[in-house]
Chains A and B, each alone.
Chain A
Amino acid sequence: MSARGYARQAGTAALVLAALGAGRAVTTMFPADDSVSEPFLRPTDVGETVELRYADITAAEVDGSTRISNAGTGLQTTEVFLVIPVMIEATGEPATISYAAVRDRDGTTYVANGSRSQFSPGLAQPGLPRYVTVTVELPVDAVAGAHLRVALNADSRRDDMADIDLGLTNADATRWAERTEVLTVPTPSETPPGDEEQS
């Protein structure tokens, strides 16, 4: 190869490196703003239905205790378990809503994903309400003012997320922290919990 050819190759390499370096400089100096991709929060209260892109969500009255029984497994905590009944009605097409978490007043998030804090609603069919339960273990002082958040997935960037004010007070927290009664968590069903007991 001639000296001119080598010079051309070196120039090309230098241009590629300069382009990559410029890209690096841009991403370092102007980091992506995560807020533009955050979920669209849809606020509501207990007993009120919130319409999301993929489902209507309604949380019912919350209960709490230091002991629960979930699918036959007894669990105890030194803090509090919240037991939150939720009704899901998919809109348009079947949906498996897989994310639920409680967020306290300080922004700390307690996700229902695991053996001690659970949310396993299964598939919700359109037009067929599905009655499920969110159980979350959290510190006693995180109860008052807590919100329930429900979304299609844990990664709900640029998608709807229900933000439900659970209406909880310090009195609720104190009462449940002293309670030793075992709360039995119902299995997900298309039948309202009250109707199941009567049948």
Chain B
Amino acid sequence: MPTTPESEAADLRRRARGSKVAGRLLNQPLRHLGVGAAVVVLGVTAVFGGLEPADTTPSRVAVEVGKISTVPPYDITIEKVLWVDELPEVYKTDDRNRWLAVTATIRNTHDESLYDAVELRHAVSLVGVDGLVGDPVRGAKRVESTYRKLLADSSDLSPVQPGIEYEMVYLFEQDGSVDPPDEVAVQLVGHTWRRDSIDQDFKWLDPTVIAESTLPVRPAEDEA
């Protein structure tokens, strides 16, 4: 038989008649029930260590060209930002596209190698650049690089060994139908060394933008 909200409420009250507690609860305004539920939730979380503390990370610092930024697990020095039509051993999705190239010196400050280094990919991103081929990071506006190459031999930087200063380039593919930018916003993204709540292993987690600046972009041919 179909029921209406009124008949469901009457049925609930009839079933609750045997219990004073249930009857009182049903007579409470919704606002009081909400407050009660919140108190119960906070009480239960307190038993298990409480809620996570609020993010107290200080505001972002500026990226200064030629100066070391501490971006755990890396020290990163941004050297320059260039655009170039062609580069050896890297492949665009369309021949008419170009590369925006952020050259940087990277040093792994951890006491162990970083391999399959997602932290390296996260570490340098661009924001607000028209025509970037890569998709923005989920939940953010920044776009990560397509390739990360060593300047010395064009190899992929894997693993990133501790203590070595690697001169490398982050390459971002840009649609060739869009004019190359005069400047770009560069974001440096750091991580936190903590236990993974799933497998309890220590990992670099929680990518967070630590430094950001708008830097000039020059054509690579001016560097020659």
Contact = CB atoms under 8 A, between A and B. Distances in A.
Interface in B8-54: 18-22, 44, 47-49
A6 B18 contact: no
A20 B111 contact: no
B152 A20 contact: no
Given A3-B21, A6-B21, A117-B161, A111 B152 contact: no
Interface in B125-154: 152-153
B207 interface: no
Nearest to B162: A108
Interface in A33-89: 73-79
Interface in A11-38: 17, 20-21, 24, 28
Pick the most buried of B20, B22, B152: most chain A CB atoms within 10 A of its CB: B152
B48 A20 contact: yes
A113 B115 contact: yes
A12 to B, nearest CB: 15
A116 B155 CA distance: 8
B159 A111 contact: yes
Majority secondary structure, B binding face: loop
Nearest to B20: A3
B21 A21 contact: no
A134 interface: no
B164 A78 contact: yes
Contacts of A107: 111
A79 B152 contact: no
A77 B152 contact: yes
Interface string B147-173: 000001101111101111101000000
B153 A75 contact: yes
Interface of B: 18-22, 44, 47-49, 111-113, 115-116, 152-153, 155-159, 161-165, 167
Q: Which 10 A-B pairs have the closest CB atoms?
A: A114-B158, A114-B159, A111-B113, A21-B47, A76-B152, A139-B163, A109-B112, A76-B153, A114-B115, A113-B115
27 contacts: A2-B18, A3-B20, A6-B21, A6-B22, A20-B47, A28-B49, A74-B153, A76-B152, A77-B164, A78-B165, A106-B111, A107-B111, A108-B112, A109-B112, A109-B113, A110-B113, A113-B159, A114-B115, A115-B155, A115-B158, A116-B159, A116-B161, A136-B161, A137-B161, A138-B163, A138-B164, A139-B163
